Amino acid sequence: MRLLDRYLLKELLLPVVYAFGGFFLFIVAFDLFNELPRWQQKGLSGLEIARLYVYRTPQMLPEVLPVAVLLGMLYALAQHSRHNELVAIRAAGVNVWRLAAPYLGTGVLFSLLLFASNEFLMPRGERAADAMLNRTTESQWSTGISFRNEGESRSWNIGAFNTITFSMRQIDVGWSDDYGRNHRMFAQSGRRDGDVWRFENVELHEPDAANPGFPLKIITNSVSMPGFTETPELIASEIKISSMSSARLAKKVRFSLEEIGNYLKLHPDLAGGRAAELRTQLHGRLAMPWTCLVVVLLALPFGFKPGRSNAMVSIGLAIGVAFAFFFVSRLSLALGTGGHLPGWIAGWLPCLLFGGTGFHLVRRNA
């Protein structure tokens, strides 16, 4: 790494860290002000509330990190412009793209880190936070669950499903075998044991070749069903996505790629409004991390303006354009969720539009 790159990165990363810390504390304080009565009602101690926000940190990163990168970028570039350092660097024969390379690399790195956080840390944090908030037995159970595994022609009706332990109560499963014969199972309880579902107090209705209209009734204490491929994670994804309203989906990307993939395994031929919502969520999830790179592209052309007065005006314009980007992202998500835009356009349009605009403005300065 060249001396110039090390210098630019050092001057950039410290403001980003300060901006991230300040904005993160602001978000936590605002959320704590609204949620503290709820935490107290659930009997959480101060240490448990602190742990809860540690678990919820990955959920806040998509909101905090891009803003921190934007503010850190603008501050660093304003300082360089104030001391005419950018002019001196350009006069030494360094072109704009070479000068921008450390910033663009930082944007790509933060985007990849945000993607990893979204897909690996956020789901685990959500489960840990849910386990802490739903410590009472009754709050862990989701009731009245019905879904169909379209790929395997199997219908599930579950009286109650524990979102923490993944155990079930009052299960009714119906399916057809390769010969088109209908099977049905009623069970009082069920749990996942390794890769196999085990059910207790079971009543099986099996086809009778001698009397096709009258199935055999088999009652047994326990039965294993290795052919049931629905994992607890698939069922949990089904519950989460099915229970989410369109109004909430229009405001924020809420599902991980794993959850969307699980849902599509159960509903491979999904169509209609739910399909539009899920496609928008899918592409929104893929595009969201690249917000960090987009804000870098938006900050660069405004930050390259020499002079103190020009720098202040440029910072104001850059912040305005960035907030316009965030607004268009929300609007695009709402239009995609409502079926007014294809999912891939709703997810990627804000990044491509504003990122392309920033790229064009940087190129004009080259």
Over residues 30-89, the pLDDT tens digits come to 999 999 898 888 888 899 999 999 999 999 999 999 999 999 998 998 888 888 888 888
Cα 70 to its chain centre, rounded Å, is 21
Q: What's the pLDDT at 232?
A: 93
Predicted confidence band of residue 288 (pLDDT cuts 50, 70, 90): very high
pLDDT greater than 90 at residue 334: yes
The per-type count for the chain, helices as H runs and strands as E runs, is: 12, 6
Distance CA 62, CA 114 (A): 7
Residue type at 286 in one-letter notation: L
Q: What's the pLDDT at 134?
A: 79
Distance CA 341, CA 349 (A): 10
Distance CA 248, CA 254 (A): 9
Q: What's the pLDDT at 366?
A: 67
Over residues 151-197, the pLDDT tens digits come to 899 999 999 999 888 899 999 999 998 888 899 999 999 999 988 99
Task: Please identify which residue in the block is written with the tokens 């660097």.
Answer: 89
Residue type at 58 in one-letter notation: P
**Per-position b or e across 91-109, b if 16+ CB within 10 A of its CB:** eeeeebeebbebbbebbee
Residue 199 CB contacts under 8 Å (≥ 6 apart), including other chains: 171, 185, 187, 189, 190, 222, 223, 224, 225
Distance CA 186, CA 280 (A): 37
* Cα–Cα nearest to 199, from 236, 177, 233, 230: 230
pLDDT greater than 70 at residue 12: yes
- The strand pairing partners of 158, in sequence order, are 145, 171
Q: What's the pLDDT at 364?
A: 86
Q: Note the residue count of the chain.
A: 366
CB 44 within 8 A of CB 136: no
Q: What's the pLDDT at 1?
A: 57
Q: What's the pLDDT at 90?
A: 86
Residue type at 128 in one-letter notation: A
Over residues 84-136, the pLDDT tens digits come to 888 888 888 888 999 999 999 999 999 999 999 999 999 999 988 988 887 76
User: CB 272: neighbour CB atoms within 10 A?
Assistant: 8
Domain edges within the chain: 3-134+286-365, 153-228
Q: What's the pLDDT at 311?
A: 60
Whole-angstrom CA distances from 152 to 44, 175, 233, 304 are 43, 8, 17, 58
Q: What's the pLDDT at 64?
A: 95
pLDDT greater than 60 at residue 309: no
- Poorest-confidence range of 119-128, 259-268, 301-310, 349-358? 301-310
For residues 136 and 271, the model is more confident at 271
State the average pLDDT for the chain: 90
Tell me the pTM: 0.89
Instruction: Specify the 3-state DSSP secondary structure of 134.
Output: coil
Whole-angstrom CA distances from 7 to 11, 72, 89, 189 are 6, 15, 12, 63
Residue type at 140 in one-letter notation: Q
Find the DSSP H helices in 270-307.
Answer: 273-287, 291-303
